[in-house]
Amino acid sequence: MQTWCLVSICVLLGVVVRWGVSLNSYSGAGKPPMFGDYEAQRHWQEITYNLPVQEWYFNTTDNDLNYWGLDYPPLTAYHSLICGHIAKMVNMEWVQLHKSRGYESTPHKLFMRTTVLVADLLIYIPSVVLYCLWLNDGPIKKKVCILFCFLIYPGLLLTDHGHFQYNAVSLGFALWGILALGLGWDALGSMAFSLALNYKQMELYHALPFFCYLLGKCVKLGLMGRGLLLLLKVAATVLVTFAFCWLPFLSDPNQALQVLRRIFPVARGLYEDKVANTWCSLNLLIKIRSIMSNDFQLYLSLACTSLAVVPSCIRVLTKPTFWQFKLALVNSSLAFFLFSYQVHEKSILLTFLPVCLFLNDLPLMAIWFLQASTFSMLPLFLKDGLFVPYVVTSLAFLFFSTYLLSPLEHCSEEELGLEACHKLLFFLPKMDLACIIRWKFYICVTAMACLSVASVTLDPPPHLPDLFSVLVSAFAFMQFLGTFIYFNIVQFSTLPNRKSQKKNK
């Protein structure tokens, strides 16, 4: 009983923080003609409610794809349709075809904010609660502390409840999939992840670890016996789930192809805005988009992403344990973010989820990354007028996570999984790597705070108007690259006994 009281308090606090963030501004508020992501989500409700499903992804007189055309998979469209029906019952002006464009009012903002919160309560928050309670080792108080830190991660709160999106839906489905695999329910896990993939195509960042883990498990069980049965069960589950989600589009091949063209818009270029990935950072030295064709950029990013993700996937394929699966999720999502084509700054949320799974085992590195990932989206939050909630939530997360999880007290080389580094760096004098990492953490947190303050208090030079956003993305990139190297080292290291999970199946 005491456990569920503590859990209820954590969930309630998480909801309060979400609602507090939602009272602030949102993407594109009062900024015609395109407004922002808030209007995009409202417009999709308008389109899906008023038009037949065959027109959702096509350019027509009633559906101008240049004005926030639908570019997410079918499950997102169905979600918009449900919200559209509810909006129509409250106020038909909110989804009136053509006439509702750019609609803004206090009641409508309340409605839209509520839809995000309800999605969190139905899909995301229950998966976080169950994962933290069932798949984390340690006393119940430690599990509750991890749960609280998981729920108040500022990056997701500011993006979904501030900027305005529904990232928690796809992330929630993905976490349900991870939870199911951790409990040995492979078919259910496959179905949950298929739903995540059909909600947002960016879940491809997690797809290879899911595939390699399940395939490796099938091979380990024997492809002539139990492994074959598991493979057939998983394959059937995935096919049925995809068929169910795509059913309205399967009768006409042109429909399905148009959906695919919309959700994979390769014509947009290598990256947009200032993103803390390799290509945007490298552009400071080499103007890649000027000297390379779009096709060559696409092939280059594909090759680099493949090289970055393959070692981790081979590791989990040959050693399909739940611990290796979680590490592969981190390394795969970071590889895609750092090297893939057409990356948005919000895509770092795809890495936040698997990193949160290590708040118990690798708290310092997890907290460090989570702070850096929120910091990397600072230019976006400034554009939306969310600096105050950014500061408040970031400081709150840093304080509570360091206080409740005591990461600086659990960062010896053994606990960080860095003992193997001395073998790799045998040609260098022996160093206290744990001490170096602690000092780097202090320095990076201080630098992120200084850059955050400078971004709003100092005017950049006239000839360098994007100076602070470039510094933010470049500094965040260096931290992300360090995180990628670190988690790859951990994945290929011999782990301490305490890291072996109860659910290694």
The sign of the torsion formed by the CA atoms of 70, 76, 78, 82 equals: negative
Q: Which residues contact 142 (CB under 8 A, 6 or more apart)?
A: 136, 360
Q: What is the pLDDT at residue 214?
A: 98
Burial 95-104, CB ≥16 within 10 A → b, else e? beeeebbebe
Of residues 69, 25, 30, 27, the one with CA closest to residue 46: 69
In sequence order, the β-bridge partners of residue 343 are 271
Count helices and strands (H / E) in the chain: 24, 0
Q: Which residues contact 97 (CB under 8 A, 6 or more apart)?
A: 46, 50, 51, 62
Separation between Cα atoms, residue 213 and residue 154, nearest integer Å:
30
Q: What is the pLDDT at residue 500?
A: 43
C-alpha triplet 325, 327, 330: angle, nearest 5°: 115
C-alpha triplet 408, 410, 416: angle, nearest 5°: 105
Of residues 425, 430, 403, 458, the one with CA closest to residue 146: 403
Separation between Cα atoms, residue 422 and residue 432, nearest integer Å:
10
What is the DSSP secondary structure assignment for residue 496, as one 8-state letter? Answer: P
For each of the chain's 505 residues, which pLDDT tens digit applies? 688 899 999 999 999 999 999 999 999 999 999 999 999 999 999 999 999 999 999 999 999 999 999 999 999 999 999 999 999 999 999 999 999 999 999 999 999 999 999 999 999 999 999 999 999 989 999 999 999 999 999 999 999 999 999 999 999 999 999 999 999 999 999 999 999 999 999 999 999 999 999 999 999 999 888 999 999 999 999 999 999 999 999 989 999 999 999 998 776 667 767 799 999 999 888 888 778 888 888 899 999 999 999 999 999 999 999 999 999 999 999 999 999 988 899 999 999 999 999 999 999 999 999 999 999 999 999 999 999 999 999 999 999 999 999 999 878 888 887 776 766 665 556 778 888 999 999 999 999 999 999 999 999 999 999 999 999 999 999 999 999 999 999 998 865 444 444 444 4
Largest CA distance in the chain: 71
Any idea where the domains of the chain sit in the sequence? 2-29+104-499
Separation between Cα atoms, residue 291 and residue 286, nearest integer Å:
9
HSE, CB side, 13 Å, CA atoms: give it for residue 123.
23
Q: The pTM is what?
A: 0.95
Of residues 396, 350, 448, the one with CA closest to residue 152: 396
Angle between helices 294-318 and 322-339 (to 10 degrees): 170
Instruction: Write the single-letter amino acid at 215.
Output: L
Of residues 323, 325, 452, 434, the one with CA closest to residue 376: 452
Separation between Cα atoms, residue 148 and residue 401, nearest integer Å:
9
HSE, CB side, 13 Å, CA atoms: give it for residue 363.
24
Q: What is the pLDDT at residue 498?
A: 45
Q: What is the pLDDT at residue 423?
A: 63
CB atoms within 10 A of CB 338: 25
Q: What is the pLDDT at residue 106?
A: 96
CB 217 within 8 A of CB 230: yes
Residue with tokens 């699966």: 325
Torsion of the alpha carbons at 42, 43, 47 and 50, rounded to the nearest 10: 60
